[in-house]
C-alpha cells in the first residue's frame, strides 16, 4: 500500500477541529467536481475506487474527504453544503474511467437483478492453492482487478529549414509554425495502437526489460493490437493524454450457465499475481521517440516533412475494485 503521507487522499484529523473535539470529522458522502466546465457529482466510494495515478492527476494538491467543520445548528448536522472542486482534467476521459469501473463492478459483484462472477467463485475463497498463500488471502479471488495504463505524450515539431516557419523575438510562433504543430498533433492522435512506439524502441535498443513488459501485459489482459481506450489532445498544449483499462486475466474460468464450478488456471494466476506489485504503487517509464513524418497537404498548406520528437511517459497501475453502490 502507498505511504499515507504520499497518498492523494487525506483525511482531516480530530485535532483540526478547534472546538467540540469529541466530535469526529464528518465524512463527505459525495463530491461535486467541475472538470473544465463540466459538472460531476461523485460519491465517496466511487472516488476511493479510482486508481491512485488518476487521483493524482485530478487532485495534485491532495483531496480532503472529510469536512473541516461540523454543522452544529439544530437540524443542520446532516446537511451537506455544495462545495465544488475545480479540476483541470479532461471530463470525457473522467467519464470513460467512471463508466469502465462501474461496469466492471456490476459484472463482478452483480446487481439487484442479476448475480455477478463473484457468486460463482465463492467456493474458491476457502480452497488452498498449491502455491503461495491460501486462496482466502489472495485478493484476486475476491476483488475485480483492472490494469490501468496511461500515457502522457509531449511532442516537438522541427519544421523544414526554409525560413517560412518562425518565431518572433518573444518566442511566439507564426501561423505557419502553429499549423505545423496542429498537423503534427493530428498525425499523432491517429496513432492509437498502444504498443507500436514501445515495440519500435525495443527493436532499436534491443531492450529486454521493455520486451518483457509488453509480454507481461499481453499475457495479463492486453492484446498486441489493442488501441488506447481514450486518447485526446490537451487544450493549448502540444500534449496528448491516453488511457487504456483492461480486466486482469486471473486464470479463473467461469462456465456457461454454471454447468461446472469455476476453476483456476494456476499458471495464469501466478502471472496475474505479479501485477499486484503495482497495486496502489504506480510505476512510470519515460523514453524519447524521434522520426521523420510526412504531413499531408491541406487546403491552405502544402505537404511537409518534419522531424517529430515525442517524450512519452507511461504509468502502470493495478486497481482492485470494491463494490460500487448504485
Backbone angles phi, psi at 225, to 5 degrees: -100, 10
The rounded distance, in Å, linking the Cα atoms of 261 and 254 is 7
Closest CA to 252 of 137, 118, 71: 118
* 199 vs 258 pLDDT, higher one: 199
Q: What is the pLDDT of residue 7?
A: 52
Per-residue pLDDT at 69: 39
Burial of 234 (0-12, 13-18, 19+ CB in 10 A): middle
pLDDT of amino acid 325:
57
Whole-model pTM over 0.85: no
The cell numbers describing 205, all together, are 535498443
Q: Is the pLDDT higher at 114 or at 299?
A: 114
Non-local CB neighbours of 239 within 8 Å, separated by 6+ positions:
152, 153, 154, 155, 233
Q: How confident is the model at residue 76 (pLDDT cuts 50, 70, 90)?
A: very low
Segment 231-237 shows an average pLDDT of: 94
Ranges of H-type helices in 26-174: 44-49, 52-58, 91-109, 117-120
| β partners of residue 10 | 64
Determine the average pLDDT of the residues in 117-138: 67
265-307 residue pLDDT tens: 999 999 999 999 999 899 999 999 999 999 887 777 778 889 9
Determine the pLDDT at residue 12: 40
The predicted pLDDT at position 171 comes to 74
Phi-psi region of 144 (alpha: psi -120 to 50; beta: other; left: phi over 0): beta
Question: 194 φ, ψ to 5°?
Answer: -65, -45
Average pLDDT of span 191-205: 94
Give the per-residue pLDDT at 78.
47
Length of the chain: 326
Whether 212 has a pLDDT exceeding 90, the answer reads yes
What's 129's DSSP letter? -
Report pLDDT for 317. Answer: 97
Give CA–CA dist 97/110, Å, rounded.
19
* Structure confidence at residue 14 (pLDDT): 43
Confidence (pLDDT) at 260: 87
pLDDT at residue 326 above 70?
no
pLDDT band at 65 (very low <50, low <70, confident <90, very high): confident
Q: Is the pLDDT at 91 greater than 90, yes or no? A: yes
Taking 80 as the threshold, does the pLDDT of residue 243 lie above it? yes
Q: Strand 38-43: give its sheet, edge to edge.
A: 38-43, 30-35, 84-87
Q: Do the Cβ atoms of 243 and 229 come closer than 8 Å?
A: yes
Distance of CA 249 to the CA centre of its chain: 18
| Nearest Cα to Cα of residue 242 among 229, 231, 256, 227 | 231
Average pLDDT, the chain: 83
- Stretch 3-28: mean pLDDT, rounded? 51
Residues 33 and 144: their CA atoms lie apart, in Å, by 26
Q: What is the pLDDT of residues 131-182, one digit of tens each?
A: 445 544 789 999 999 999 999 999 999 887 877 767 777 778 788 888 889 9
Q: For a pLDDT cut of 70, what percent of the chain falls above it?
A: 83
Is it the case that residue 27 has pLDDT exceeding 80?
no
Place 70 in a pLDDT band, splitting at 50, 70 and 90. very low
- Burial level of 21, CB count in 10 A (0-12/13-18/19+)? exposed
Q: Which three cell numbers mark 322? A: 470494491
Mean pLDDT of 250-273: 90
Angle between helices 208-220 and 196-205 (to 10 degrees): 150
Amino acid at each position: 500500500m502507498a505511504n499515507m503521507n504520499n497518498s492523494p487522499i487525506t483525511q482531516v484529523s480530530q485535532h483540526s477541529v478547534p472546538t467540540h473535539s469529541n466530535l469526529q470529522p464528518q465524512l463527505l458522502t459525495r463530491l461535486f467536481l467541475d472538470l473544465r466546465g463540466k459538472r460531476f457529482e461523485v460519491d465517496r466510494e466511487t472516488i476511493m475506487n479510482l486508481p491512485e495515478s488518476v487521483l493524482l492527476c485530478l487532485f495534485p494538491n491532495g483531496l480532503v474527504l472529510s469536512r473541516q467543520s461540523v454543522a452544529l445548528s439544530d437540524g443542520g448536522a446532516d446537511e451537506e453544503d455544495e462545495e465544488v472542486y475545480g479540476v483541470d482534467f479532461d471530463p470525457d476521459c473522467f467519464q470513460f474511467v467512471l463508466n469502465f469501473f462501474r461496469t466492471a463492478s456490476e459484472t463482478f459483484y452483480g446487481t439487484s437483478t442479476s448475480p455477478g462472477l463473484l457468486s460463482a467463485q465463492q467456493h474458491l475463497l476457502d480452497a488452498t492453492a498449491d502455491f503461495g498463500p491460501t486462496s482466502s488471502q489472495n485478493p484476486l479471488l475476491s476483488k475485480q482487478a483492472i490494469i490501468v495504463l496511461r500515457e502522457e505524450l509531449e511532442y516537438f515539431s522541427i519544421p523544414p529549414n526554409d525560413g517560412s516557419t518562425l518565431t518572433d523575438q518573444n518566442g511566439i510562433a507564426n501561423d505557419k509554425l502553429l499549423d505545423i504543430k496542429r498537423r503534427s498533433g493530428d498525425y499523432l492522435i491517429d496513432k492509437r495502437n498502444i504498443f507500436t512506439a514501445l515495440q519500435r524502441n525495443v527493436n532499436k535498443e534491443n531492450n529486454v526489460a521493455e520486451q518483457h513488459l509488453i509480454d507481461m501485459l499481453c499475457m495479463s489482459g492486453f492484446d498486441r493490437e489493442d488501441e488506447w481506450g481514450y486518447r485526446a489532445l490537451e487544450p493549448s498544449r502540444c500534449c496528448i493524454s491516453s488511457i487504456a483499462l483492461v480486466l486482469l486475466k486471473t486464470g479463473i474460468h467461469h462456465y456457461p450457465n454454471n454447468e461446472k464450478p469455476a476453476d483456476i488456471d494456476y499458471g495464469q494466476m501466478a502471472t496475474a499475481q505479479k501485477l499486484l506489485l503495482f497495486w496502489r504503487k504506480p510505476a512510470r517509464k519515460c523514453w524519447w521517440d524521434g522520426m521523420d513524418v510526412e504531413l499531408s497537404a491541406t487546403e491552405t498548406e502544402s505537404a511537409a516533412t518534419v522531424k517529430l520528437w515525442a517524450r512519452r511517459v507511461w504509468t502502470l497501475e493495478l486497481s482492485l475494485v470494491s463494490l460500487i453502490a448504485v
